[in-house]
Chain A
């Protein structure tokens, strides 16, 4: 019988294999490039953070789901299968609304949703809210001082929302894979 650590290493290996299959099955580099292109622009190093979160998820799933019944696994897989696309859609909506792309090497900016007092004076027609047109021009007009237009707390909140949804998606994705793997690895070991 394998030790717990060895079985966790096996889980990691299987998880990597499954993830590689996903990448290969969806035209490899295109898949990766797509995910890189929709990554939150803040904070830097979000890819590393995502990797850490995935590993943490694997650890927790391995700890709590080792040896559980097929019925319980099935219930979790059903819930995860439902939540996963929902989270992705929510993230995608947030990305489209809260992130403004500018034609500069600096790329993308996360905007806020609460205008400063100055901004309310300037924009008599209404505060430039996320999702409205011409935000790139507004940002350029402020010389990229976003906190002149939106309050700092709303910018920070937007960043957190984006990051939270992104990480939630990967937590769910790695949970789905790992619950499936933990159950099947455990079943093979029991035979």
Chain B
């Protein structure tokens, strides 16, 4: 039976959910998040007595900073039976959510649209948690603020846009911009906002209707290359496989033409140096011959554009053979 693959642009985190049973997965996580949020809120009610706080800070600041002892909180989650890293992410999401709401409450004339964006933040955090559950060893996801996944960046900038539009301020309040960990760049908002939209969820549902069982999905997710590349920098993207763990080899279309011109096989070392990448690795955008091999022995080979500006375009891949 041919393996059916699909490239879905900008959609990797939700694809992670699919393995856990479609939308049931996110419902489960949302429930976990609610537990985390309730727990954090409960603990904050008497932060001094029950939670460890960093000594030396003025007490009035401590109340607002929500500085929690992660170990204490993780003990709580362990008692709930969750995986440690996953618990930590949920907890951080809950703490961050509270901090963000606090910061927003201090901004005057901020009314419309904020709730929706906060939901986006929540979703971004939860998707990260799902990522960790799926790619448990991915060190880049250990620190939420160290590397900004797309959803987080988009949500941050959408929030910044709303705040700036409603308050007519050119600069975000420092407390908030520090919390968001981003510099507001208006030029990038429109593009990012375009990518991050509600259609993503419906596309995922559509995908699962098309291939209800045993679907193997190759996902291409825009990752980096925003600023700084106006002077001819190389835009990058990330490639994920589902089922995860496949080995991916890429050679540029240019190299493939060179092989053909020399009468050599596609990935022969005398004409090309295939990039062998692991699941989730970052690659230059471009047009490639893509070879995917799963541990089960299934494989796929085909020529595809790994160009994220295609937005939500899906490319259905068919076949069951490696590149020669």
Contact = CB atoms under 8 A, between A and B. Distances in A.
B252 A141 contact: yes
Say which size band chain A's interface belongs to.
Answer: 20 to 34
A143 B262 CA distance: 20
A117 B317 CA distance: 33
A104 B309 contact: yes
Interface stretch (B78-86, B131-139, B229-237): B229-237
A105 B235 contact: yes
A108 B252 contact: no
Most buried by A among B235, B254, B309: B254
Most buried by B among A43, A104, A105, A110: A105
Contact of B284 (A43, A137, A145): A145
Interface in A97-134: 103-110, 118, 121-122, 124
Main secondary structure of the interface of B (DSSP, over half): mixed
Interface in A41-81: 41-44
Contact of B258 (A43, A109, A118, A145): A118
B305 interface: yes
A41 B235 contact: no
Contact of A106 (B230, B254, B288): B230
A44 B227 CA distance: 11
Contact of B229 (A105, A124, A138, A145): A105
A44 B230 CA distance: 8
A44 B225 CA distance: 15
Given A105-B191, A105-B309, A42 B232 contact: yes
A140 B232 contact: no
Nearest to A43: B231
A142 B252 CA distance: 6
B231 A42 contact: yes
A148 interface: yes
Contacts of A145: 234, 252, 254, 284
A121 B228 contact: no
B211 interface: no
Contacts of B254: 118, 122, 138, 141-143, 145, 148-149
B229 A106 contact: yes
A168 to B, nearest CB: 20
A20 B280 CA distance: 51
B261 A124 contact: yes
B99 interface: no
A39 to B, nearest CB: 10
B228 A44 contact: yes
Given A104-B307, A144-B285, A121 B232 contact: no
B226 interface: yes
B285 A143 contact: yes
A103 B309 contact: yes
Given A42-B232, A143-B283, 13 more contacts: A41-B230, A104-B309, A105-B191, A106-B233, A106-B234, A124-B261, A140-B287, A141-B253, A142-B252, A143-B286, A143-B287, A143-B288, A146-B232
Interface of A: 41-44, 103-110, 118, 121-122, 124, 137-138, 140-146, 148-149
10 contacts: A104-B309, A105-B226, A105-B309, A106-B225, A106-B233, A106-B234, A109-B232, A143-B252, A143-B254, A143-B287
